[in-house]
Amino acid sequence: MQIPTPDGQADALAVHPDNGERHPGVLLYMDAFGVRPVLEEMARKLAGHGYYVLVPNVFYRQGPAPVVDLPEHITQEARPAVFAQVMPLIQAHTAERALRDAGAYLGFLTEQPEVAAGPVAVVGYCMGANVAVRTAAAHPDKVAALAGFHPSPLMNDAPDSPHLLFPEITAKVHLGIAESDMTPEVVGALDKALEAAGVEHTCEIYPGTVHGFTMTDTDAFDAAGLERHWERLLPLLESALGTT
């Protein structure tokens, strides 16, 4: 599937129930390792709960997925070599590019005949959580639920830090944070920033987890963390969007 964007064509994966009905839309942003079988599995699970799930290759400017060659399982030892390949792609995916793409992705998603009318959800993993925040803030009328798991830093001193966008968000929010990613103080500051912005939200550290804990094809995977992720994500989507 190809999504027209201001900068070209983004290849994407789309999964939905094949029952001839219309379903709430979910825009799922990939982690830094890109669109691959594990993300297709997650999209299919979401679709099984009654959603149309769109997973764009946000690195499409550098080529179709898979943009880099990945091992079948990303071990701790392999991570430095893999990150050496993906870091230039991450750095090239600027906030400006992400925002241009977000409008195209949301427009494409909501125009699909299998997608129900009304707002959608945005879900992101790792760097995708950062992009999800920017998407929800830029399109508050279109995004009713936002979930980010093991997010890349959302609060920093940069003038375009994602947390500065919280006042623009009207979606219900859940942030599922790896225990090794942020200190309780940073998580507390995120929580306070969301509260001050009036965002209905939950911010939670998932015990015993490291960055990437939802991804079954890496050594970072944590089964309990993934299960907790589903236990938080599915009720969020149901409360914000409902199922058909």
* Backbone dihedral angles phi then psi of residue 3, each to the nearest 5 degrees: -110, 120
Q: Residue 186, class by beta-carbon neighbours within 10 Å (0-12 exposed, 13-18 middle, 19+ buried)? A: middle
Which long-range contacts does 90-93 make (Cβ < 8 Å, 24+ apart)?
Answer: 90/32, 90/127, 92/59, 92/61, 92/62, 93/58, 93/59, 93/127, 93/131
Domains by residue range for the chain, with CATH:
2-240 (3.40.50.1820)
Q: Is 50 left (phi over 0), alpha (psi -120 to 50) or beta?
A: left
Q: What value, to the nearest 5°, has the Cα angle with vertex 225 and ends 228 and 217?
A: 125
Q: Which of 152, 150, 200, 156 is nearest to 179 (CA)?
A: 150
Instruction: Please tell me whether the overall predicted TM-score, pTM, comes out greater than 0.85 for this model.
Output: yes
Question: In this structure, are residues 105 and 26 in contact, taking their beta carbons and an 8 Å threshold?
Answer: no
Q: Which tokens belong to 177?
A: 């944070």
CA distances from 120 to 57, 108, 215, 235 (A): 19, 12, 23, 14
Residue 12: alpha-carbon gap to chain centroid: 14
Print pLDDT tens along the chain (244 aa).
Answer: 999 999 999 999 999 999 989 999 999 999 999 999 999 999 999 999 999 999 999 999 999 999 999 999 999 999 999 999 999 999 999 999 999 999 999 999 999 999 999 999 999 999 999 999 999 999 999 999 999 999 999 999 989 999 999 999 999 999 999 999 988 999 999 999 999 999 999 999 999 999 999 999 999 999 999 999 999 999 999 999 976 4
Angle between helices 127-138 and 95-111 in degrees, nearest 10 = 70
Cis peptide before 66 (omega within 30 of 0): yes
Round to whole Å and give the CA distance between 151 and 166.
15
CA distances from 106 to 109, 111, 112, 149 (A): 5, 8, 10, 20
